[in-house]
Amino acid sequence: MHPTPPRIAIIGAGPGGLLCARVLQRSGIPVTVFAHEASVAGDPQGAFLELRMTTARPALRAAGLCEEFTDLARPVGQGMRLLDHTATVLLQDIPEAPGVPGASGAPDASGGPGRAEADRAGLRGLLLSSLAEGTVRWGSYLRTLHPCGDGRHRAEFDDGHTETFDLVIGADGAWSRVRPMLSDGTPHYSGVTFVETGVADAGRRHPHLAELAGDGGLLALSAGKGLIARRHGRGRLQVYAGFRGSQDWALEAGVRMTDTEAVRAVLLDGIAGWDDRLRALLEESDGGFVSRPLFALPVPHAWTHTPGLTLLGDAAHLMAPLFGGGAGLALLDGWALARVLADGDDPDAAVRAYEAAMLPRAAQAAGYAARALAAAFAPDAPDSALRFLRAARE
């Protein structure tokens, strides 16, 4: 136990914040996590979480949860192919984003799959069960922070109660309430929307779609539009229709997202003339559609160090999901921050060291993700994407 441990608050109960809390507690440093959800049953924002294990594995190892995660996780296909709208394969194996090193500065070289998938609720449950009882305060929505003038901040919550902390860590996602205290950066709409759907048990029920997707998945592009199919555990194909346009596209098309067949018709009309094998990804999908406009922070997103405050995960580097690896980076952030806090006696110096390493790392990943998205949904795609990906291989 540190002789005079700082009072630390983590705002947000996503994977990065919870892993940070776990590593801090393993190091004898007390921490409180404030979650806006009313209870652990709150929506963990999606069914699946796919992790690039180069970044996630060392963080999970530091948390002492590698074996438990291995039991929880499922391997996913490791290869992605680039196709055009005729289903012609242009690139057999899409390269990964530039490797983001572990917090030590060297890539993690341990064995295991390059990617793994877990249910978001399952990973969250694993992290929550690893924390000391009472660590998470549910139903605590941060209203604002008041600087105390000595590096401390008084946190005011929606229920009216306030607490003062030596360090407040914003792990509260895209629309962080902590970030405005550090930065003027706000998420902007990328101009691209993904509409999510899926095909359950594709290998048995839709073998032609499973064969089309291959071992990992596919990215089919043409003139600012795309279809993405990704193999997931339990035989599921996760499918996304992507396009440039208004984030209010459904309203403008006169359809409601709850009207599955009307949405399907609009999406299919948008890829008229595409190969029937690709169109079948939407025609045969089940479970409805979810519209996901893609938002990102400016690249690079940085701030002047402010004593008593810092950010991790999407609060620090919200990026486009195409090849960005944001979930693994959030875990890496949580581990890296907790480690420097545990290793030193000066919390402010520790946060400075964390930010000095994290911000360039995040800018590299976010910059790559932004360029990849722009190339994938350019007017001359797939040629633009092919040039970009070939350059990435060099």
pLDDT tens figures, 14-25: 999 999 999 999
Across 113-122, 247-256, 328-337, which has the greatest mean pLDDT? 247-256
Query: What tokens does 100 get?
Result: 């983001």
| Cα distance between residue 163 and residue 8, in whole Å | 11
The candidate with the shortest Cα–Cα distance to 192, out of 373, 60, 314, is: 373
pLDDT tens figures, 325-334: 677 889 999 9
Reported confidence tier of residue 91, pLDDT bands at 50, 70, 90? very high
Quick check: do 8-75+100-186+297-374 and 188-296 share a fold? no
Look up the CATH architecture of domain 8-75+100-186+297-374. Answer: 3-Layer(bba) Sandwich (3.50)
Give the pLDDT confidence score for residue 69 in this predicted structure: 86
Which residue has 């948008």 as its token pair?
Answer: 270
pTM, 2 dp = 0.91
Residue 110 scores a pLDDT above 50:
no
- Please say whether the beta carbons of 217 and 80 come within 8 A: yes
Instruction: Estimate the crossing angle of helix 15-26 against helix 120-129, to 10 degrees.
Output: 20
Give the pLDDT confidence score for residue 322 in this predicted structure: 64
The candidate with the shortest Cα–Cα distance to 59, out of 11, 37, 26, is: 26
Question: Across-strand partners of 237?
Answer: 199, 231
What number is the average pLDDT over the span 327-344? 92
Helix (H, G, I), strand (E, B) or coil at 380: coil
Give the pLDDT confidence score for residue 133 in this predicted structure: 95
Distances in Å between the Cα of 162 and the Cα atoms of 98, 170, 175, 387 are: 43, 17, 21, 53
Reported confidence tier of residue 196, pLDDT bands at 50, 70, 90? very high
> Domain locations in the chain?
8-75+100-186+297-374, 188-296
Q: 363-376: buried (b, 16+ CB within 10 Å) or exposed (e) per residue?
A: bbbbbbbbbbbbbb
| Cα distance between residue 373 and residue 380, in whole Å | 13
For domain 188-296, is the CATH number 3.30.9.30?
yes
| Cα distance between residue 278 and residue 125, in whole Å | 36
Give the pLDDT confidence score for residue 171 in this predicted structure: 98
